[in-house]
Amino acid sequence: MSLAEQFAAVNEQVRLACERAGRDPQQVCILPVSKTFGHEVVRQAMALGQRQFAENRVQEMKEKALALNDSSIEWVVIGYLQTNKVKEVVRYASQLQSLDRLELAQALDKRLQQAGRRLDVLVQVKSSNEESKTGMAPELVPQFLKTIRDYDTLNVKGFMTVAENTHEQERIRRCFERVRQLRDQCQDEQGRTLPVLSMGMSADFALAIQEGSTQLRIGSALFGQRPPVR
C-alpha cells in the first residue's frame, strides 16, 4: 500500500474502534512515530497533512529538523531523556512525553527559562511491572505534579504510558485503565485539567481507545516495517 493508503486504513481502524467504544473519533488523534524512518518519509507524510511527528532519540529528531528546515513541524520526544540532551529538546521539540523524574523537570525548567519559552509535557507513568519499561511509579505521580506546579515553563498536559508487552489483552487493558484512573484522581484531587492521555501504539490502540486514550502513537501501522536502527 502507498503511504496515503496506509494512513487512510489506520484512520478507518481508529474510527471503527471509537465506534465500538462509544466514543467520538474527533476526541482521538494519531501521532505518527517517525523514529528510524528517513526525513523523506516525514516529507511524504507532511504532503498528506501531517505536522506532528514523534521521535525516540533526540539526535534523530535534530537531524530531521535540520534536514527538513520547516517551522510548521511539531517534533514530539517520546523516548527516555537524559538530562544532557535537554538543551536540544528545548531548541527543537514542541512536546516531551517522557517526563519521569524531578531531576529532569529541574533541568528542563532551567533551560526553558534561559530560552524564554514554555514546553508542553506529559508525565510518563509506568503502568506495568516490566523492568524494561521506564516511567514514574503511579503512587509517586500526585506529589510530583504538586511539586512541578510551580515550574511555569512546564505546561503539563497529561500522561503517557507504554502498556505491558504481552498477548494477554486484559493485562494490556488494565495498564491503560490504571493510567486513566490516575489521571482522573489527579484532576479531582488537585483541581487541574489533564486532557491528554497518550496511550496505545500500532498493536494495542483499540484497547487504549476503549480506556480513554486521546492520542495514539502509531509507527509501523502507518509507515510499514521499521528499517534497522543505525
pLDDT, one tens digit per residue, over 145-174 is 999 999 999 999 999 999 999 999 999 999
Apex 107 CA angle, 37 and 32, nearest 5: 20
What local confidence, expressed as pLDDT, does residue 173 receive? 98
Average pLDDT over residues 168-181: 98
Which CATH superfamily is 3-223 part of? Alanine racemase (3.20.20.10)
What local confidence, expressed as pLDDT, does residue 55 receive? 98
Q: Are strands 119-124 and 93-99 parallel, antiparallel or unpaired?
A: parallel
Helices (H), 32-140: 39-47, 58-68, 86-92, 102-115
Cα separation, 60 vs 39, in Å, equals 10
What local confidence, expressed as pLDDT, does residue 225 receive? 83
What's 125's DSSP letter?
A: B
What's 32's DSSP letter?
A: E
What local confidence, expressed as pLDDT, does residue 228 receive? 64
What local confidence, expressed as pLDDT, does residue 132 receive? 86
Q: What does residue 195 show for φ and ψ, rounded to 5 degrees?
A: -75, -20
Give the rounded percent of residues in the chain with a pLDDT score beyond 70: 98
SS3 57: coil
What local confidence, expressed as pLDDT, does residue 131 receive? 87
Has residue 230 got a pLDDT over 60? no
What local confidence, expressed as pLDDT, does residue 226 receive? 74
Domain range list for the chain: 3-223
What local confidence, expressed as pLDDT, does residue 105 receive? 99
What local confidence, expressed as pLDDT, does residue 229 receive? 58
pTM: predicted TM-score of the whole model, two decimal places: 0.95
| 75-122 per-position pLDDT tens digit | 999 999 999 999 999 999 999 999 999 999 999 999 999 999 999 999
What would the DSSP string read from start to end of 218-230?
Answer: ESHHHH-SPPPP-
Q: Which of 72, 67, 64, 68 is nearest to 34 (CA)?
A: 64
Q: What residues are paired with 156 via a beta bridge?
A: 121
CA atoms within 13 A on the CB side of 86: 19
